[in-house]
């Protein structure tokens, strides 16, 4: 019996020792929504440092003991814990962490948990951006964030976009500050495929850490990176598509133009009312069809990511080839990016860099008169004329070039090289205290070339010998930053403190040259000093800064944050160079309170935020506006001798006390997530007051000083409400869907002008000199760049109406009017219609914007739809003024065929005449002002992902095919090509703000259909 007991005891010991020994645990980790393997997931034994990561097929192997707990975690997914109870494989399905209360959000010089954030910060990730089907990062951001407006300058593939955060407040510069991977950069440099996330710092509490450059908001761009111990992964994205003009404007064809000209006594290049004129038969030349063609677009991006125990890396290369829909316009660019991080000494020392190189080439030169001229050029003129020595069809009635000819005659090109480098070294001095050295370098080189061949274009002019102009510009910038960060949690208290010093220097150089009357076939300047011109410029500026921030959280309930930055700029004089920009914010996580516990099963988070802060803006047109430049040419004749003189202060300078524009922002916000993260809501209300706005103020004429003095003389207020919401859920086991919406209201007003007199105003767009006191204007009591026009009141239907439209003295208000002419309102009551009747009739700034995202997936299909729109804004349609007013020669809109005539009185189109009806030809009336509101189906993206089992033999991890449509449909009452009009530098305005809502003939934004493939290896 004893023997049996000993044997039993020994066997038990062996069994117990077996339980204590390590066993190999294996399994596969998949994603819940797609059932796809998940590489790079961390698998760790809880309470130990023993861990591994899943391979490219989602598989893992780890040594552990029976009853140990395995923790599965990765960014953006809910953490899962599984206990080891047997030798069987442990397979895990991970779901997206929709609640994301502990999501880390990038802020200035650091990160913070979203639940601890007390400022107004909005974030969009890779999925929301849908950067795979976008050609630029800016257009990918359009409509995605409440309070952030992104507008197109034009459809030219070489033109950019206008981005504003919470409205505009300056004549000089309203663009946000762009920070790429921690250093000041340019959003246009970044391939949208390479973006991991974009955070927008909207209120001063979030942005004040950037001080004098943050008045327009701050956009933080984080590019994709690798992860430690991540298997090397290759991702390929390629798409190609066609672009088409989405809308065609109706103008008279050749036969219609000939008949119309004959009826109204107009010349029409021999087909109108001229002596011996003959009627034109047929359609003629459709210049829109000739100049606006179907164009191709190609885009490719290849990225490689991975990591080892102490390093991670991400490298990518991108290529974009985009032809313009207008003849001889195109864009081609290459992007190279490298991002890596290395750690040493048990992760106490880290270093890394982010490098981006972009090479771009653009062809074709168009301005806003290009499209206007295309519409106005007579359709009775052929493209080619064998009777002309240079072969082009020309018009004798209009001073405009043959559109096709000018596109062939001018060889316009540009080349740019942009280099961005950000490198850092970080060391943990003691637990929680880290020192970071950051160096940012930027270099931009741009070359422009315009070669104009010989031509004979009739009344437009003759060029008997080629001309050439070239320019070169460079921009070099460095910034060196030193920061200390201290983070510590003790009990219920969490504190984060940061202090830093920054120094920056920028240098710009420009060289311009031109030469005319070159020998044929010579593509360089010949050195002919009689026709050669050259000029150059150089600018330097420096900025030094001290900054700091403290963030505190008690029990994850009560939040506090305060920051201050002090900047010094070389652009201002001593005594006025430095400005301080403080901010403070508080937050309350109400859901953490005891009284909220009955609702905690419904609400995941309810957070109230309050903030105040002050921001600055040093961007002014002149680099050193307080410095006087000596002017020569002040000569004097003394007897028979000329005294050559030079004196200062001939041109206006700014006062010595010129200083920063500063913006104060008050913000109240509410963040709510509920139903286990399925529904997330964010609402903000803000008031943004900008003081010391830099304005151009004229000197009194008696001083003899010309030009305008830049002075701190204005105040502007913006206020608005922003709301965003996202709903994510499932239908059954196979359907996942989401709905995301954002909307914002905005109000803009100039509240004060403190110099230049009581009625000081600044005129904007002039409509080529026909704009009276200015088509738009900057003036106290109105929105910036409000439309300043005479108000129309229908048309006169009878002579009785004309005779009854009198002033208080019994005089006719419009004595020259005829039946069918436009009736105008005598706004100032002086009994006559003139420029004094121009007044505020609307704003180019929308008071309501929205974006709507819809999408989901079923089995292996996915669908994403994005709709955006604006409301409340106006657009001045200059091409329509040229095509309908009768003030210009050339072609006309088909709408003029419905003009008032004795036999066509039931119409709202005024009487047409080339010889009288002066009032009908006024450019500064709201007859040409249109509703700029629109709703646009911006993108539709439909894709199919192949099942994993089909791809395993080919060693392919993921394969997705998709089709995409962009700008598919726009609903708008606007009669021009597109109502999406951002700022443009080609309208001839003194400040680009005045180009908003001005359509002088903008390049149409194309509709695009594309097909693409996404491949992961």
Is the model more confident about 125 or about 680?
680
In whole angstroms, what is the distance from residue 428 CA to residue 435 CA? 6
Which letter, b or e, does each residue of 318-357 get, where b requires 16 or more Cβ atoms within 10 Å of its Cβ?
bebbbbbbbbbbbbbbebebbbbbebeeeeeebebebbbb
β-strand partners of 170 = none
Confidence of residue 953 (pLDDT cuts 50, 70, 90): confident
In whole angstroms, what is the distance from residue 870 CA to residue 979 CA? 9
The predicted pLDDT at position 721 comes to 96
Q: pLDDT, tens digit, for every residue of 842-878?
A: 999 999 999 999 999 888 899 999 999 999 999 999 9
Q: Tell me how far CA of residue 379 lies from CA of 116, 579, 757, 770, 985, in angstroms.
A: 65, 60, 51, 26, 30
- The whole-number average pLDDT for the span 116-136 is 80
The candidate with the shortest Cα–Cα distance to 772, out of 881, 662, 898, is 881
In whole angstroms, what is the distance from residue 874 CA to residue 926 CA? 10
The predicted pLDDT at position 18 comes to 43
User: Which ranges of 264-388 would DSSP assign to H, the alpha helix?
Assistant: 287-291, 368-376
In whole angstroms, what is the distance from residue 834 CA to residue 836 CA? 5
Mean of the per-residue pLDDT values for the chain?
87
Q: pLDDT, tens digit, for every residue of 379-400?
A: 999 999 988 888 999 999 999 9
- The percent of residues in the chain predicted with pLDDT above 70, rounded, is 92
C-beta of residue 939 within 8 angstroms of C-beta of residue 992: no
In whole angstroms, what is the distance from residue 934 CA to residue 154 CA? 16
Measured in whole angstroms, the distance separating CA 344 from the mean position of its chain's CA atoms is 39
Q: What is the pTM of this model?
A: 0.88
The predicted pLDDT at position 620 comes to 67
Confidence of residue 663 (pLDDT cuts 50, 70, 90): very high
Q: How many helices (H) and strands (E) does the chain have?
A: 11, 51
Is the model more confident about 134 or about 481?
481
Is the model more confident about 609 or about 94?
609
In whole angstroms, what is the distance from residue 496 CA to residue 483 CA? 13
Q: Which helix (H) or strand (E) holds 409?
A: helix 403-409
In whole angstroms, what is the distance from residue 466 CA to residue 33 CA? 64
User: What end-to-end distance do the CA atoms of the chain give, in Å?
Assistant: 65
Judged against a pLDDT cut of 90, whether residue 892 lies above it is answered with yes
Is the model more confident about 629 or about 446?
446
The candidate with the shortest Cα–Cα distance to 468, out of 447, 452, 456, is 452
Confidence of residue 576 (pLDDT cuts 50, 70, 90): confident
In whole angstroms, what is the distance from residue 696 CA to residue 656 CA? 15
- The whole-number average pLDDT for the span 560-585 is 89
Query: Which residues neighbour 520 within 8 Å (Cβ) at sequence distance 6 or greater?
Result: 454, 465, 466
- The whole-number average pLDDT for the span 576-584 is 90
In whole angstroms, what is the distance from residue 590 CA to residue 385 CA? 78
The predicted pLDDT at position 909 comes to 95
- The whole-number average pLDDT for the span 89-110 is 71
The candidate with the shortest Cα–Cα distance to 673, out of 7, 119, 69, 100, is 100
Q: pLDDT, tens digit, for every residue of 187-202?
A: 999 999 999 889 899 8
Q: Tell me how far CA of residue 860 lies from CA of 102, 472, 1014, in angstroms.
A: 30, 51, 14
Backbone angles phi, psi at 344, to 5 degrees: -140, 165
Q: pLDDT, tens digit, for every residue of 37-76?
A: 787 788 988 888 788 888 777 889 898 988 899 999 886 6
Residue range 22-94 forms a domain whose CATH class is: mainly beta
Q: Which helix (H) or strand (E) holds 439?
A: strand 433-452
Q: pLDDT, tens digit, for every residue of 995-1017?
A: 999 999 989 999 999 999 999 88
Q: pLDDT, tens digit, for every residue of 252-261?
A: 999 999 999 9
For β-strands 92-94 and 23-31, DSSP reports them as parallel
- The percent of residues in the chain predicted with pLDDT above 90, rounded, is 55
Which letter, b or e, does each residue of 368-389 get, where b requires 16 or more Cβ atoms within 10 Å of its Cβ?
bbbbbbbbbbbbbbeeebeebe
**451-455, 619-623, 634-638, 676-680: least confident range:** 634-638
Q: pLDDT, tens digit, for every residue of 752-761?
A: 998 777 778 8
Backbone angles phi, psi at 379, to 5 degrees: -80, -5
**313-317, 415-419, 514-518, 841-845: least confident range:** 514-518
The predicted pLDDT at position 212 comes to 84
Q: pLDDT, tens digit, for every residue of 405-450?
A: 999 999 999 999 999 999 999 999 998 899 999 999 999 999 999 9
Most confident of 46-50, 287-291, 538-542: 287-291
In whole angstroms, what is the distance from residue 885 CA to residue 299 CA? 44
Token readout for 618 is 């040093």
DSSP code of residue 1005:
P
Confidence of residue 694 (pLDDT cuts 50, 70, 90): confident
The predicted pLDDT at position 352 comes to 93
The predicted pLDDT at position 111 comes to 78
In whole angstroms, what is the distance from residue 699 CA to residue 957 CA? 70
In whole angstroms, what is the distance from residue 288 CA to residue 292 CA? 6
Q: Tell me how far CA of residue 407 lies from CA of 198, 370, 520, in angstroms.
A: 39, 10, 19
For β-strands 161-165 and 929-931, DSSP reports them as unpaired
The predicted pLDDT at position 758 comes to 72
- The whole-number average pLDDT for the span 898-908 is 94
For β-strands 822-824 and 792-795, DSSP reports them as antiparallel
Judged against a pLDDT cut of 80, whether residue 646 lies above it is answered with no
The predicted pLDDT at position 637 comes to 60
Confidence of residue 991 (pLDDT cuts 50, 70, 90): confident
In whole angstroms, what is the distance from residue 993 CA to residue 690 CA? 16
The predicted pLDDT at position 332 comes to 95
C-beta of residue 444 within 8 angstroms of C-beta of residue 475: yes
In whole angstroms, what is the distance from residue 472 CA to residue 479 CA? 24
The predicted pLDDT at position 931 comes to 97
Angle at CA 893, nearest 5°, toward 891 and 896? 110
**111-120, 466-475, 625-634, 766-775: least confident range:** 625-634
Q: Which helix (H) or strand (E) holds 406?
A: helix 403-409
C-beta of residue 571 within 8 angstroms of C-beta of residue 624: yes
Token readout for 116 is 């601890």
């Amino acid at each position: 019996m004893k023997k049996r007991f000993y044997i039993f005891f020994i066997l038990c010991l062996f069994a117990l020792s077996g339980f204590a020994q390590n066993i190999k645990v294996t399994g596969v980790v998949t994603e819940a929504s797609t059932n796809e393997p998940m590489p790079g997931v961390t698998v760790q034994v809880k309470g130990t440092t023993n861990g591994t990561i899943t391979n490219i097929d989602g598989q893992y192997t780890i040594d552990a003991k029976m009853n140990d707990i395995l923790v599965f975690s990765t960014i953006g997914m809910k953490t899962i814990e599984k206990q080891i109870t047997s030798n069987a494989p442990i397979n895990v399905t991970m779901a997206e962490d929709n609640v994301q209360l502990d999501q880390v959000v990038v802020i200035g010089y650091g990160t913070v948990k979203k639940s601890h954030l007390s400022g107004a910060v909005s974030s969009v990730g890779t999925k929301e951006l849908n950067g795979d089907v976008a050609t630029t990062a800016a257009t990918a951001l359009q409509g995605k964030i409440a309070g952030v407006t992104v507008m197109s300058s034009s459809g030219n593939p070489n033109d950019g976009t206008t981005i504003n955060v919470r409205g505009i407040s300056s004549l000089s510069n309203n663009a946000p500050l762009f920070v790429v991977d921690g250093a000041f950069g340019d959003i246009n440099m970044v391939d949208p495929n390479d973006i991991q996330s974009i955070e927008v710092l909207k209120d001063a509490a979030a942005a004040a850490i950037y001080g004098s450059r943050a008045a327009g908001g701050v956009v933080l761009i984080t590019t994709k990176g690798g992860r430690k111990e991540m298997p090397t992964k290759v991702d390929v994205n390629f798409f190609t598509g066609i672009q088409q003009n989405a809308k065609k404007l109706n103008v008279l064809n050749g036969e219609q133009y000939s008949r119309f000209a004959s009826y109204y006594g107009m010349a029409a290049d021999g087909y109108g009312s001229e002596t011996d004129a003959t009627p034109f038969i047929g359609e003629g030349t459709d210049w829109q069809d000739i100049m606006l063609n179907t164009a191709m677009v190609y885009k490719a991006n290849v990225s490689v990511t991975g990591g080892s125990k102490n390093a991670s890396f991400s490298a990518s290369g991108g290529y974009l080839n985009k032809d313009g829909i207008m003849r001889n316009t195109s864009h081609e660019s290459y992007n190279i990016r490298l991002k890596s991080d290395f750690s040493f000494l048990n992760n106490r020392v880290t270093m890394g860099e982010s490098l981006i190189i972009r090479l771009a080439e653009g062809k074709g030169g168009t301005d806003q008169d290009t499209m206007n001229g295309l519409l106005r050029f007579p359709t009775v003129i052929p493209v080619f004329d064998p009777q002309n020595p240079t072969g082009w069809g020309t018009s004798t009635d209009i001073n405009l070039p043959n559109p096709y000819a000018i596109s062939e005659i001018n060889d316009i090109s540009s080349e740019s090289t942009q280099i961005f480098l950000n490198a850092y070294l970080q060391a943990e001095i003691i637990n929680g205290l880290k020192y970071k050295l950051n160096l940012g370098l930027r270099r931009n080189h741009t070359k422009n070339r315009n070669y104009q061949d010989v031509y004979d274009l009739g009344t437009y002019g003759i060029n008997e010998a080629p001309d050439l102009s070239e320019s070169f510009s460079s921009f070099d910038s460095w910034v060196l930053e030193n920061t200390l960060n201290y983070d510590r949690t003790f009990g219920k208290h969490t504190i984060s403190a940061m202090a830093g010093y920054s120094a920056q220097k920028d240098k710009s150089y420009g060289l311009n040259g031109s030469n005319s009357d070159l020998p044929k076939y010579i593509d360089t300047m010949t050195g002919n000093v009689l026709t050669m011109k050259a000029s150059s410029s150089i600018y330097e500026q420096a900025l030094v800064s001290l900054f700091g921030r403290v963030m505190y959280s008690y029990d994850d309930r009560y939040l506090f944050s305060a920051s201050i930055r002090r900047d010094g700029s070389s652009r201002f004089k001593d005594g006025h160079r430095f400005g301080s920009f403080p901010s403070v914010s508080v937050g309350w996580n109400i859901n953490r309170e005891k009284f909220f516990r009955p609702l905690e099963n419904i609400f995941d988070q309810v957070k109230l935020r309050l903030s105040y802060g002050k921001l600055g803006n040093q961007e002014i047109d002149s680099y050193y506006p307080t410095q006087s430049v000596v002017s020569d040419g002040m000569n004097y004749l003394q007897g028979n001798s000329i005294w050559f003189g030079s004196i200062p202060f001939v041109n206006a300078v700014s006062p010595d006390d010129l200083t920063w524009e500063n913006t104060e922002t008050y913000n109240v916000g509410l963040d709510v997530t509920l139903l286990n993260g399925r529904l997330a809501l964010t609402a903000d209300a803000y008031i943004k007051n900008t003081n010391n706005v830099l304005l151009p103020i004229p000197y009194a004429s008696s001083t003899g000083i010309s030009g305008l003095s830049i002075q701190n003389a204005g105040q502007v207020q913006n206020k608005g409400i922003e709301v965003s919401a996202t709903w994510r859920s499932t239908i059954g086991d196979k359907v996942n869907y989401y709905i995301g919406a954002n909307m914002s209201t905005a109000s803009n007003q100039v509240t004060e002008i403190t110099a230049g007199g009581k009625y000081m105003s600044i005129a904007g767009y002039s409509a080529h000199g026909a704009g009276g006191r200015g088509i738009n204007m900057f003036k106290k009591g109105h929105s910036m760049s409000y439309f300043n026009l005479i108000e129309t009141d229908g048309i006169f239907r009878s002579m009785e109406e004309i005779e009854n439209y009198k002033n208080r003295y019994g005089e006719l208000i419009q004595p020259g009017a005829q039946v069918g002419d436009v009736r105008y309102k005598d706004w100032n009551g002086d009994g006559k219609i003139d420029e004094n009747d121009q007044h505020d009739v609307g704003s180019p700034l929308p008071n309501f914007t929205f974006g709507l995202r819809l999408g989901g997936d079923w089995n292996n299909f996915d669908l994403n739809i994005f709709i955006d729109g604006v409301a409340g804004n106006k657009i001045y349609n200059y091409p329509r003024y040229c095509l309908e007013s009768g003030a210009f020669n050339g072609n006309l809109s088909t709408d003029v065929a419905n003009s008032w005539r004795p036999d066509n009185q039931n119409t709202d189109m005024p009487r047409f005449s080339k010889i009288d009806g002066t009032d009908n030809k006024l450019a500064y009336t709201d007859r040409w002002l249109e509703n700029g509101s629109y709703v646009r189906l911006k993108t539709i993206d439909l894709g199919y992902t192949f099942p994993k089992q089909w791809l395993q033999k080919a060693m392919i991890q993921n394969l997705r095919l998709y089709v995409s449509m962009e700008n598919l449909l726009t609903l708008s009452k606007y009669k021009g090509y597109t109502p999406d009009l951002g700022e443009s530098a080609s309208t001839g305005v003194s400040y680009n703000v005045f180009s908003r809502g001005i359509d002088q003939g903008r390049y149409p934004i194309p509709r695009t259909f594309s097909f693409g493939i996404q491949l992961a290896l």
